[in-house]
Each structure stands twice: as C-alpha cells, then as structure tokens.
C-alpha cells in the first residue's frame, strides 16, 4: 500500500518545485494610497522598488477623471498621447509586466502629463518569473535541480 503515500509525496514535491516560479509575482498599486493622480511624484514612488517580469501594476483612479497610456520614451518625454481607444480607462487598470526593460505610462487627460506630472517610468528586471529563459535564471534552475534530486531521492526510498 505504498502507492497512495508515494503519489501524495510526489505530488507535494512537484508543487514545491513549481511554486517558486508562479507565486512570487507582486501587485504594485501605483502611488499607493494616492493612486493614479496629478501632482504626485511617481519617480519617488518607483525609486527603490524592483519590478520583475510577472509583477503587476494597478492604476487606481476615479473612472473618467484619468486614464493610462503605455508609451515609448520619446512620447513619455513630450507627453504625446496615443490615439484614443488604445488607453486603459476602467479606473482599476491592471498591467502585467511581460518583458524586461523600461516601461513608460502617462495620463492622456488634458495636460495632466505635461503640466501636472502624471507620468510613470519604471525599469523591469528580467526575473525568475519570466516565461522565457532570462539572463539571471541560474538560481531558478539551481533550485529546480536541487528539488529534482530530492524527488529522485524520495522515489528511491520507496
Ligand atoms: Cu490624469
């Protein structure tokens, strides 16, 4: 009757192997309690935070008062708003950080970006949560190799 115990142990270990790459993602509410608004220092907010692939930005604001456009570096600098309809407008906009690198976001309402500093730039680290192999994935595979050895060891015990 070792079979059932065997299956349970292998299942638990399999979960332990898979879990680290799926649960470390973090949700960041942009601006914390202030949310996505005017006259807020988003550079100060982003400073010291390390964003990883798989993390999520949550833009919170009263619907209709602001919006969120993902732009490139030059549009960020000049506060150039892309065509309407390409922005996020729900007031609770969740953006999953899919790739490493710099990400720029601006508000497209009136001159909120140009005159009232409603703009955010962050840098996303390539991370262990990346779906594709990332430069610093050595620790991930190191951990997985270790767990694979543990699973093998448990197999041999039965
Ligand atoms: Cu705005």
Whole-model pTM: value is 0.68
The CA 132 to ligand 1 mean position distance, Å, reads: 34
Q: What pLDDT, on the 0 to 100 scale, is given for residue 24?
A: 77
How far is it, in rounded angstroms, from Cα 34 to Cα 39?
10
Q: What pLDDT sits at residue 40?
A: 98
| CA 135 / ligand 1 centre spacing (Å) | 36
Q: Please, what's the largest Cα pairwise distance for the chain? A: 72
Structure confidence at residue 45 (pLDDT): 98
Whether 132 and 54 have beta carbons less than 8 Å apart is answered as no
Q: Which residue has the tokens 């270990």?
A: 13
Residues of the chain under the 70 pLDDT cut: 1-2, 4-23, 127-158
Centre of ligand 1 from the C-alpha of residue 48, in Å: 24
Q: For residue 133, what pLDDT is reported?
A: 46
Same domain (yes/no): 143, 109? no
Identify whether residues 50 and 122 lie together within a single domain.
Answer: yes
CB atoms within 10 A of CB 34: 16
DSSP state string for 83-100: -TTSSB-SSEEEEE--SS
Question: If you measure from the C-alpha of residue 19 to the centroid of ligand 1, how many angstroms do you get, rounded to a whole number?
Answer: 38
Residues 1 and 30 in one domain: no
**How far is it, in rounded angstroms, from Cα 85 to Cα 13?**
46
**Model pLDDT, residue 9:** 58
The residue whose two tokens read 């570096």 is 73
Whole-angstrom distance, CA of residue 70 vs CA of residue 116? 17
The Å distance, Cα 65 to ligand 1 centre, comes to: 6
Does 110 lie in the same domain as 158?
no
Distance 113 CA to ligand 1 centre (A): 7
- What pLDDT, on the 0 to 100 scale, is given for residue 144? 58
Closest to 154 in 3D by CA, of 6, 1, 28, 2: 6
Distance 39 CA to ligand 1 centre (A): 10
The alpha carbon of 142 and the centre of ligand 1 are apart by a number of angstroms equal to 45
Would you say 130 and 137 are in contact if contact means Cβ atoms under 8 Å apart?
A: yes
Q: Do 73 and 113 belong to one domain? A: yes
Question: Ligand 1 centroid to 61 CA: how many Å?
Answer: 9
Centre of ligand 1 from the C-alpha of residue 8, in Å: 52
Q: Give the distance (Å) from ligand 1 centre to CA of residue 117.
A: 9
pLDDT tens digits, residue range 110-141? 999 999 999 999 999 985 544 544 444 444 45
Number of domains composing the chain: 2
Beta strands in the chain (DSSP E): 27-29, 51-52, 56-60, 69-71, 92-96, 101-106, 119-125
Residues 148 and 122 in one domain: no
Domain holding 60, by residue range, is 25-127
Do 87 and 121 fall into the same domain?
Answer: yes
């Amino acid at each position: 009757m070792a079979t059932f115990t065997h299956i349970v142990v292998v299942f638990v270990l399999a979960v332990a192997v898979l879990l680290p790459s799926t649960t470390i993602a973090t949700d960041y509410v942009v601006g914390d309690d202030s949310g996505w608004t005017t006259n807020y220092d988003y550079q100060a907010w982003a400073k010291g935070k390390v964003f990883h692939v798989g993390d999520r930005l949550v833009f919170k604001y009263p619907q209709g008062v602001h919006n969120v456009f993902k732009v490139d570096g030059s549009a960020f600098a000049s506060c150039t708003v892309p065509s309407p309809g390409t922005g996020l407008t729900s007031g609770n906009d969740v953006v999953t950080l899919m790739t490493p690198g710099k990400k720029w976001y601006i508000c497209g309402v009136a001159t909120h970006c140009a005159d009232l500093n409603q703009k955010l730039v962050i840098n996303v680290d390539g991370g262990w949560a990346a779906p594709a192999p990332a430069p610093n994935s050595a620790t991930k595979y190191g951990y997985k190799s270790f767990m694979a050895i543990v699973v093998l060891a448990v197999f041999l015990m039965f």
